[in-house]
Chains A and B, each alone.
Chain A
Amino acid sequence: MTGESAAGLSGRELACMRGGRTVFAKLDFGFAPGELVVLRGPNGAGKSSLLRVLAGLVAPAEGTLAWHGADIADDPAGHRARLQYVGHLDALKANLTAREHLRFHAALREVGARDGEAHHIAHALDVFGLAKLADRPARFLSQGQKRRVALARLCVAPAALWLLDEPTNGLDTEGVACLAAAIADKREGGGIVVAATHLDFPGSQARTLTLSPSQ
């Protein structure tokens, strides 16, 4: 694994400590452009922690994380700009509509009217089958519909790296299919997708990174 090319996202000897406890250590990997990597492992194995380390939200206790060979610790802002993260929480405000959430997210990711913001939002709503629900406040949406809005954020701004924490939680079969299509699309464009999930995405050749706490 250590001999892999420096293209894409690579980690060397990564370790993560949470609350004085080592969650994982000596983790080596290289994710190439166009790859889907599925994180597996029982609860507490550190899937969410690894995603947060990959996002730069948590600094690794040891080791380095690199993008195309360049250490991301040297350019945290650049790393933030290239990734999109969907956590296990939906990050929705009860009083805002799906469209307002996506519009705010586009602004947050610095996608303006000149970059075709309206087109991106319409596309995102379309991909996740939200067109009819676009103007409904989030408090009137079901759990699965909220999850779709959270995931639709992925499509409103360009990103080379998607980090998804249990993205299929609460989604129905159709929702999973929407997500699978979005992921396939992203991979075709050379994006890297890392997802912690229990489901297999239909029609996807995924690599698996299994984290296991040994007793």
Chain B
Amino acid sequence: MNAAFALLRRDLSLALRNVGETLTVLAFFVIAATLFPFGIGPEPQILARVATGIVWVVALLASLLPLERLFQAEADEGGLDQLLLAPAPLEALALAKCAALWIGSAVPLIAVSPIVAAMLQLPSEAFGTLLASLLLGTPSLALLGGIGAALAVGARKGSALLALIVLPLAIPVLIFAVAAVEAQIAGLSVRPHLFLLAGFAVFWLTVAPFAMAAALRQAAS
């Protein structure tokens, strides 16, 4: 376990030193969300109706951006071999990379999401649920993204391929995250939705490490 924590610590300190990368993801998130008022008009009622969906869809797209380098950089530099040869289980190391990805890119994104939501006229009583849905939903995206990134190591058409792999599998998360916020706006109970999102996170937490490890092992051979 020490090895996994050391990897998490190293990746986080690298993320701190390359703040530019995180800022690029955040800028994409804000700019892409800003396009929607231009596309569908600035009427507050219309924006309020679609705000949750926009925030979530754009967050989903933004979460794809750092995936391409997640394992590919390790493979290009030679570090992947060192991870594969570590005595620690590869599953734990892959999970550590996903955790660093989540803390390094999803958490800042969640932090700025209220600003985007406010610009899109999301009713103020829904902010808490939006944050909760992001906190419970983005771990699934990071794990799912980790699977995609591990599968695509060494592939020719990196980023578009990642979108093809990850997006269809992320649809359930999107459905229930948006449903939670809309339930809050409609005055219904949000608990079942949030429980389901947590359930998805647990599901991917059990599946993703094995899928990533299997993908990385065959990527090295």
Residues of A within 8 A of B (CB): 52, 55-59, 77, 80-81, 83-85, 87-93, 95-96, 100, 104-105, 107-110, 112, 153
Contact = CB atoms under 8 A, between A and B. Distances in A.
B221 A91 contact: no
B78 A87 contact: yes
Given A77-B87, A96-B14, A108-B7, A58 B2 contact: no
Interface in B101-151: none
B221 A58 contact: yes
B14 A95 contact: yes
Interface of B: 2-3, 5-7, 10, 13-14, 17-18, 76-79, 81-89, 220-221
The 7 A-B pairs at the shortest CB distance, nearest first, are namely A89-B78, A107-B6, A91-B78, A81-B87, A91-B79, A95-B17, A58-B221
B22 to A, nearest CB: 14
A88 B13 CA distance: 26
Given A105-B82, A108-B86, 11 more contacts: A57-B85, A59-B221, A84-B85, A90-B77, A91-B78, A91-B81, A93-B10, A96-B13, A100-B13, A110-B88, A153-B82
A84 to B, nearest CB: 8
Nearest to B73: A93
Nearest to B81: A87
A108 B220 contact: no
Taking chain B's interface residues, is the majority helix, strand, or loop, or is none over half, making it mixed?
helix
Contact of A55 (B2, B76, B85): B85
Nearest to A95: B17
A84 B87 CA distance: 11
Contacts of A92: 77
Contacts of A55: 81, 85
A179 to B, nearest CB: 18
A112 B2 contact: yes
A107 B3 contact: yes
B10 A85 contact: no
Given A57-B81, A80-B87, A108 B14 contact: no
Contact of B77 (A58, A93, A105, A108): A93
Contact of B85 (A83, A90, A93, A104): A83
B89 to A, nearest CB: 8
A110 B2 contact: yes
Contacts of B5: 107
